[in-house]
Amino acid sequence: MKARVTVMLKSGVLDVQGEAVRHALGTLGFGGVKGVRQGKVIELDLVETDRDAAEAAVKGMCDKLLANAVIESYRVEVL
C-alpha cells in the first residue's frame, strides 16, 4: 500500500522559500503571481494492507518525525 503525505507551513508562518520563488517568477516575467507557499511531498511504500491501520501509522509518523506540528500542517492520502 502507498501513502502520500503533503506537509505545508501553517498560514501565518512566514514562507521564506515561497517568497523567494514568487520574487524569482516576477523577475522572469511572471508578474501575475501574488503569493507562493512551498511545501514537501513524502511518498511511502507500506507493508500494511489495512487502509485504516495504514492511515493511523502514517499519521503517527507525521506527528513524530515527518512534520513539525508547531509550524506545519499535513495531509495524509492512502493510495
- Give residue 55's pLDDT: 98
- Give residue 1's pLDDT: 96
Number of neighbours of residue 36 by Cβ within 10 angstroms: 15
Proportion of the chain above pLDDT 90, given as a percent? 100
Task: Give the tens place of pLDDT for each residue, 24-35.
Answer: 999 999 999 999
Give the global pTM.
0.87
In the block, residue with C-alpha cell 514568487: 22
What amino acid is encoded at 42 in this protein?
I
Please, what is the average pLDDT of the chain?
Answer: 97
Strand partners, 75: 6
Nearest residue to 36 (alpha-carbon basis) of 59, 9, 7:
9
Task: Give the tens place of pLDDT for each residue, 30-60.
Answer: 999 999 999 999 999 999 999 999 999 999 9
- Domains of the chain, first to last: 2-78 (3.30.1280.10)
